[in-house]
Structure 1
Amino acid sequence: MTFKRSILALLAATSVLAFAPAAIAATLTVGIQEDPDTLDPATGGTYGGRQVFAGLCDKLVDIDANLNVQPMLATSWTWNTDSTALTLNLREGVTFHDGTPFDAEAVKFNIERAQTREDSRRRAELVSVESVSVDGPLTVTLNLSKPDVTVLVALTDRAGMMISPTAAETEGDNFSASPVCSGPFQFAERSQREFIRLTKFADYWNADNIFYDEIVYTYVEDATIRLARLQAGDIQVAERIAPTDISAIESSNNLSVYQSSGLGTSYLSAGGRDTPFSTDLNVRRAFELAIDRNVINQVTYAGLYVADNQLESNASPYHIAEFPMPERDVEAAKALLAEAGYTAPVPVEITLANTLSDTRVGQIIQSLANEAGFTVTVLPLESATATQRVFAGEFDVFLSNWSGRSDPHLNIDTLIGCGRPAVEQYGGWCTEEVQELINAAQGESDQTARYDLYRRITELYLGDVGVIALYHPTWFYGAASNLDGIAIYPDGIFRPTGVKPAS
C-alpha cells in the first residue's frame, strides 16, 4: 500500500507540472472559485482576490484559528485609554518586492491611500482614522476621530495590506496590473479568467517558512470541475469543495479534507428598484415564510452548513439565540400577500453569481416561493458582473455570499449600514436607527453593553426583513495528501505560509 501511494503521489505531482502554466520544479497550484476583480487591496472586492492576496500582500496583523489578532508586519500594538489612538510597532528588516523599505512612512501612505482613492472599498473600514502619525522609523499611530474598537480587526484584512508606495506612485491607476506588495510571493503574470502566477520572494522576512518556488491560483468556477481537477492532480488544493463531494475526497487515498466553521453568511438583500419586494414589508415577510432554510441546506449542502436567519454566524458571541429562524408557512405567506393587496403571482427577480451552488439555491428558492404565490425569475451572472450590479443597486433581490469578519461591526455595517460609498454598499436596506446603533457599538468596549446594542440591531433587521439570511457556510478544502502544513481558519482563506510537501 505504501508503494502504491508513493506512485500515485508521484503521478499527481507530474500532472501538476504538466498543467500549471510556466511551472518550475516546485509549484503549488490552488483552484479558486472566483476570478479576482483587481489585485489592489484598496479596491478589491472579491473573495477570490482575498485568496490571492494571502500569497501576495502581507497585512499589519492577522487572525489565528480562534480569531485572536496576531502579529504580522506589526509586531505589537497598544491602545490609549479611551480607544482613540492605536500605536503599532513595526517589524524590522522588511522590504517590498521592488526593494522599497517597509517602515512607518509606508504604513501612513497605505492608510491614507485607502482613505482617499475615489474607488477605494476600504474607506468605511477606516472612516474613524482621522490622521496617521509617524512616531519613529518603525512606530506609527492611527489617531481616531472617535472611540473605535474595530480598527485593529479591520487591519487583519485588506485595509491592513501593505503595498509599495514607490510602485503605487509610479503605476497610479495601473497598479493592479502588476502589483507590488511584501508577501511571501511576488506577482509574475496573470491570464484573465484563467490563472494568476506568483513567484517566491527571496527577501521575504519569513522565507524559512515558504517551501514552494511559485504558487499558481487557477480560476475554476464550478465546484464539480474543481473536484475533478483535484482528483486528476491538475491542482493540489481546491477551495470551497461542495459538501456533497466530501465523501469522494474522504474515500481517496490521495486526497485529504480540511474544514473550519465559517464567519460568513449567505443572504437575500433588497435592491434599489421600485418593486414589491423592495417597497412592501408584507411582501418581504411573505417571501421569508415561503422559503425553507433547512431544505436549502439539506439539498444544496447535504445539511453540513448551518441554516439560520441572522447575519452574524452562530459561532459568533453576537449571535442572538432568542431570535430563532421562522418555520416555513405557505398559507401565512399567501395571507400576507393578500393583505398587501397583491394578486398572485407576485414577480421577484433574484440576481446571483452563476456558480453551481448559488444557482441551485436560487432554483430551490424559486420552487418554494412559487408555491406561495410568487413567480421568481433567477438571473445568474458571472461573479464580478454580479458584484458590480450590487454596488450599482441594479437588482430586485440579490443572493449574496459574505465571507465574514471576526468583529460584528465589519459584518453588520458592511451589509446593512447606511451612507457607505457605492463601491462598498452590499445591500439596499438600512435605517437611521440601525445606523445609530451600529455607530454606538463601534466604540463600545464593554462586551455586555455591546451585546445589547447588537441584540437591538438584530431585532430591527429581522422585524423589517431588511435582509433574509439563509445559512452560514462551513469551509471545506480538498488537498493532495502529500501536503503538510495546511490550516484553514474561520475566514476560509488558504494561507500558503508553512505549506510544504510531506516528508
Structure 2
Amino acid sequence: MRRTAVALAAVVLVMSTTAGCGSLQSSATEVGGERMTDDRPVRDGGTLTVALNADPDKLDPTLAQTLVGRTVFAGMCEKLYDVDAQGKIVPQLATALPKVSDGGRTVTFDVRRGAWFSDGTKLDAAAVVTSLMRHRDLAGSARATELAPLKGAEATGPYRVRLTLKQAYVPLTAVLADRAGMVMSPTALKKYGKDFTNHPSCVGPFKFVERVGGDRIVLAKDPHYYDADSVHLDKVIYKPIPDGSVRLANLRSGDVQAGDQMAPVDVKSALTDDKLQLFNSPSLGYQGIGINVGNVKGLGEKPGRVDTPMARDIRVREAFELSIDRDLINRVVFQGMYEPACGPMSPESALAPGVKASQCPKRDVAAAKRLLRQAGVKTPVPLELKIPTTPEWSRIGQVVQAMAKNAGFAVTLRPTEYATMLEETDDGHYEAFQSGWSGRLDPDGNIASFLQTQGAMNAYGYSDKKVDALIERGRTEPDPRERAKIYEELTRRVNDAHALLYLYRQKNYVVTGKDVAGLHVYGDGLIRVKDAGYAK
C-alpha cells in the first residue's frame, strides 16, 4: 500500500513540475452547465479563424478518420442527415427520415431539390448513389464497415434513392448522419480521382479554397449553396495549433476567434478573461490506449501474430490496465473536468447506456504484479507508447509511464505528429498508441469499425468470433432493450480482451471571442459555422 502511495505522489510531483506556470491544482472560475449555442443576431461579413488541436487527415469523406477533419467537413460537406442540439437525427440533404420496408431490407428516401455542389453541378439521387457506393467499395475506405450491410443503391427517380440491404440494419440512419452520408460531386470524383482530397467538392455553406499542410485550410462562402442568403461569414480558416496554451494565447490576441477542443486547464484560464466565452457540451466519444494484438499487414488484412509480450499474453495487457488509475488521470491532468471511462459507449447514449465512471476497475498494482509473474515475463516489460505531440497527451503519457513503472513496465513515450501516427498505426507499426473516437449516437458507430474482425478502423488487429456475432446481432435487433443487453455483453467481452483500454471521456470545450455569435457546438463535438459570424 505504501509503495503505491509513494508512486502516486511521484506522479503528481511530475505533473506539477511539467505543467509550467499554469498549475494543474490552481483554483479558477468554475465551468458552468451545458452551453451549445449562441443565438444573438449576426452581421454579415468577416473571416472566422478556428484553431484546431491537430492537422486534419485527408479531406475526403470516404477516407477521413479524425475529429478535426469532421469539424472542417461541417463547414463544407453536408450529409443526408444531421444531429441536432437534443441529439436527435434530422434531415439535411434528405427531405425526411427514411422509409423502411421488406423487413428492414429496403430503405427509401428523397433528396433535396435545388441544391448544388461547390463546383456548380447539381445534387440529385444519382450523385447520392455514386457517393454511397464509393464509401462502401473504395480501397482503404474508413466507411466500409459502416456500409457493409448495403447490398446496392439505385436512383428510382431524379431525387429518390432506394437502398437494398443484406439484412435489417438498425444503425443506418445514424451512419448516414456522419461521413458515410456526405455526398460528393460525381464530376469532381471523376476529374480528380485519388486526388479528390486536394479538391473536395460537396454541398455546404462554404467551399474549399486551399490547404497549406500544417498551417491552414481555407474555406469561402459558396454562392451555389441552397441557403447562401443565411450564411454570414465570407471565409472560415482552420489553423492546426496542437498546444492548447498557444491556442489560448492566439484567442487572447485576436489572431484566432475560436479554439476547438480546449483542454480543461486552458478553459479555466479562459474563464478569467472577460473577452472570451465558453461553449460546453457532453461527449459521446472516448479516449484510451490501443494495443497491437494482431495488426501485422495493415488495416483490413487478416490478423496475424505480433511478437511482443503485450500481444502474446492477455495477462500482460490486463496487468498494464490494472496499473492505471483513471480517477488520478482525470484529477491530475484534467482537473476533474472529464469523466473516467471503461467502455465504448457513453452513459449519455439513450440507445444503449454505457458503463458509468463509478463502475470502472480500480488500480491494483499487487494484482498487476501477480499477473506478470503468472505470465512468466521478465520485468520490467518494455512498451513503446505512441502519443500525439500535444502537451495534454505528454502529461497523460508521463502519468501512465510513472504508474506502469510501479507495476513492472518500462514505458517509452514516442511523440508523433497526429496524421503520421494514424498512418503508422493503421499499417501496424506500433506496440501501443493513443486511440480515441469522437463518438456516435448509435453504439454500433463506436464499436463495429474498431472491433469487428478486419474492421475499417481496427488498427489493433483484434479478432473475436463471438464479438463479431454480437456486433451483427446488435445491428439487426430492433428492440432497444434487447440491443442494450447485447451491447452490455459486448462491452464485457471487449474489456476482457484488454486490446483497447478506455481511459476517459472528454467534454466538448470550445472557447471563442465574446463577439462571435451564431455558433453551434452539439454533443458530436463539431463546431458548426453555417450560422456563425460576429454579433451585431
Name the % identity.
36
Per the alignment, residue 49 of structure 1 pairs with: 69
Q: 1:124 offset after TM fit, Å?
A: 1.1
The equivalences for 1:331-480 within 5 A come to 331-421=366-456, 424-480=457-513
Q: 1:239 offset after TM fit, Å?
A: 0.3
Q: CA RMSD in A?
A: 1.5
With a CA cutoff of 8 Å and minimum separation of 6, indicate the structure with the bigger relative contact order.
Answer: 2
Q: 1:388 offset after TM fit, Å?
A: 0.8
How far apart, CA to CA, are the structure 1 residues paired with 2:159 and 2:136? 21
The equivalences for 1:81-100 within 5 A come to 82-100=103-121
Per the alignment, residue 8 of structure 1 pairs with: none
How far apart, CA to CA, are the structure 2 residues paired with 1:455 and 1:175? 40
Q: 1:286 offset after TM fit, Å?
A: 1.0
Bigger shift: residues 318-327 or 132-141: 318-327
The equivalences for 1:46-85 within 5 A come to 46-76=66-96, 77-80=98-101, 82-85=103-106
Q: Aligned to 1:270, which of 279, 291, 295?
A: 291
Q: 1:479 offset after TM fit, Å?
A: 0.3
Checking the alignment, whether the CA contact within 8 Å between 2:345 and 2:355 is kept in structure 1 is no
Aligned partner of residue 131 in structure 1, secondary structure = strand
Per the alignment, residue 210 of structure 2 pairs with: 189
How far apart, CA to CA, are the structure 1 residues paired with 2:353 and 2:500? 16
Q: Name the aligned partner's letter for residue 353 of structure 2.
A: H
How far apart, CA to CA, are the structure 1 residues paired with 2:192 and 2:246? 36
How far apart, CA to CA, are the structure 1 residues paired with 2:485 and 2:203? 40
Per the alignment, residue 164 of structure 1 pairs with: 185
Per the alignment, residue 6 of structure 2 pairs with: none
1:239 maps to 2:260: yes
Could you list the runs of 4 or more consecutive aligned residues of structure 1 that deviate by over 3 angstroms after TM superposition?
Answer: 319-323
Q: 1:452 offset after TM fit, Å?
A: 1.1
Please report the TM-score for the alignment, with normalisation by the length of structure 2: 0.87
Aligned partner of residue 107 in structure 1, secondary structure = helix
Q: 1:411 offset after TM fit, Å?
A: 0.7
Q: Aligned to 2:245, which of 208, 224, 229?
A: 224
Per the alignment, residue 160 of structure 2 pairs with: 139
Per the alignment, residue 175 of structure 2 pairs with: 154
How far apart, CA to CA, are the structure 2 residues paired with 1:343 and 1:44? 40
Per the alignment, residue 15 of structure 2 pairs with: none
How far apart, CA to CA, are the structure 2 residues paired with 1:372 and 1:222? 31
Aligned partner of residue 44 in structure 1, secondary structure = coil
Please report the TM-score for the alignment, with normalisation by the length of structure 1: 0.92
Aligned partner of residue 82 in structure 1, secondary structure = helix
Q: 1:464 offset after TM fit, Å?
A: 2.5
How far apart, CA to CA, are the structure 1 residues paired with 2:342 and 2:531? 37
Checking the alignment, whether the CA contact within 8 Å between 1:362 and 1:378 is kept in structure 2 is yes
How far apart, CA to CA, are the structure 2 residues paired with 1:405 and 1:390? 22
Q: 1:336 offset after TM fit, Å?
A: 1.3
Q: 1:466 offset after TM fit, Å?
A: 2.8
How far apart, CA to CA, are the structure 2 residues paired with 1:85 and 1:221? 44
How far apart, CA to CA, are the structure 2 residues paired with 1:393 and 1:280? 18
Aligned partner of residue 90 in structure 2, secondary structure = strand
Q: Aligned to 1:319, which of 353, 367, 371?
A: 353
How far apart, CA to CA, are the structure 2 residues paired with 1:192 and 1:320? 37
Checking the alignment, whether the CA contact within 8 Å between 1:40 and 1:175 is kept in structure 2 is yes
Checking the alignment, whether the CA contact within 8 Å between 2:81 and 2:91 is kept in structure 1 is yes
How far apart, CA to CA, are the structure 1 residues paired with 2:402 and 2:455? 34
Checking the alignment, whether the CA contact within 8 Å between 2:49 and 2:236 is kept in structure 1 is yes
Aligned partner of residue 521 in structure 2, secondary structure = coil
How far apart, CA to CA, are the structure 1 residues paired with 2:496 and 2:138? 36
Aligned partner of residue 310 in structure 1, secondary structure = coil
Aligned partner of residue 371 in structure 1, secondary structure = helix
Per the alignment, residue 486 of structure 1 pairs with: 519
How far apart, CA to CA, are the structure 2 residues paired with 1:473 and 1:213? 32
Alignment gaps of 5+ in structure 1: 1-23
How far apart, CA to CA, are the structure 1 residues paired with 2:107 and 2:371? 50
1:302 maps to 2:335: yes
Aligned partner of residue 286 in structure 1, secondary structure = helix
Per the alignment, residue 25 of structure 2 pairs with: none
Checking the alignment, whether the CA contact within 8 Å between 1:269 and 1:429 is kept in structure 2 is no
Q: 1:66 offset after TM fit, Å?
A: 2.3
| CA deviation map 1:384-433 (0-9, x unaligned) | 11111221122111221211111110111122111224xx3233323111
| CA deviation map 1:242-271 (0-9, x unaligned) | 101122211111100111110110112210
Summarize the Cα distance change of 1:116–1:480 in structure 2 as closer, same or farther, 3 Å threshold.
same
Per the alignment, residue 118 of structure 1 pairs with: 139
How far apart, CA to CA, are the structure 1 residues paired with 2:181 and 2:226? 17
How far apart, CA to CA, are the structure 2 residues paired with 1:69 and 1:215? 26
How far apart, CA to CA, are the structure 1 residues paired with 2:492 and 2:334? 28
Checking the alignment, whether the CA contact within 8 Å between 2:45 and 2:533 is kept in structure 1 is no
Checking the alignment, whether the CA contact within 8 Å between 1:32 and 1:218 is kept in structure 2 is yes
Per the alignment, residue 20 of structure 1 pairs with: none
Bigger shift: residues 352-361 or 301-310: 352-361
How far apart, CA to CA, are the structure 1 residues paired with 2:57 and 2:492? 35
How far apart, CA to CA, are the structure 1 residues paired with 2:328 and 2:242? 24
How many pairs does the alignment contain? Answer: 478
Q: Name the aligned partner's letter for residue 139 of structure 1.
A: R
Q: 1:288 offset after TM fit, Å?
A: 1.2
1:34 maps to 2:83: no
Checking the alignment, whether the CA contact within 8 Å between 1:310 and 1:319 is kept in structure 2 is no
Per the alignment, residue 529 of structure 2 pairs with: 496
Q: 1:116 offset after TM fit, Å?
A: 2.1
How far apart, CA to CA, are the structure 1 residues paired with 2:432 and 2:85? 34
How far apart, CA to CA, are the structure 2 residues paired with 1:25 and 1:472? 37
Q: Name the aligned partner's letter for residue 320 of structure 2.
A: F
How far apart, CA to CA, are the structure 2 residues paired with 1:115 and 1:464? 29
Per the alignment, residue 259 of structure 1 pairs with: 280
